[in-house]
Amino acid sequence: MPSIQISYDLVSQADLSAQEWALIRAAELATTTAYAPYSNFWVGTALLLENGEIVQGSNQENAAYPSGLCAERVAFFKAGSGFPNVRIVQMAVVAKRANENHFLPVASCGACRQVMLEYEYKQKAPIKVLFRATAEKYYRLPNVACLLPFQFTAESL
Ligand code: THU
């Protein structure tokens, strides 16, 4: 039977470049701007652009629950509208509960992966991904496409 494999690293802080660590710290900082009074689950995302700019996003909830938006999409739409022609090189995502101090393992939801894929497709260059894993470790993935096999893109239309 055919199968699909994805490659990733599981890295500790010591294995991260200074730039990657700065990106994770920016994602951690972004959690403090979450507006999440319903879930009390704070998510932070930071995007490194090719011009060195870091774009942060946090989840923004709404009393009409589906009207809210995940941190990743807030960050990607912020980058897409503020820096439409600047490539996104890497992204980091972390999460924490409002009443706790430690960060939690997190991976982007399916809807966010679809949006992330659109931007990767648009820029024709990979966006590296860092997700908080367990025990001070991070998953590092080479691109968004590997997170979403059997893709729906512009080529599907
Ligand atoms: N959330 C994100 O911000 N990113 C994800 O990838 C998963 C979920 C947010 C949405 C909602 O505000 C809260 O986490 C609980 O689902």
**Which of 32, 39, 104, 129 should be mutated for ligand 1, with most atoms under 8 A from CB?**
39
CA of 47 to the centre of ligand 1 (A): 17
Q: Given a cut of 90, is residue 134 above it in pLDDT?
A: no
Is 72 a catalytic site residue?
Answer: yes
Ligand 1 atom nearest the C-alpha of 107 is: 6
Say yes or no: CB of residue 61 within 6 Å of ligand 1. yes
Instruction: Give the rounded distance of the alpha carbon of 154 from its chain centre.
Output: 21
Residue 151 is predicted with a pLDDT of 95
Q: Which domains does the chain have, with CATH numbers?
A: 9-144 (3.40.140.10)
20 lines ligand 1 (CB under 6 A): no
Residue 51: the pLDDT is 97
- pLDDT of residue 135 exceeding 90, the answer is no
Mean pLDDT for the chain overall: 97
Distance (Å) from CA 71 to ligand 1 centroid: 7
Say whether pTM exceeds 0.95: yes
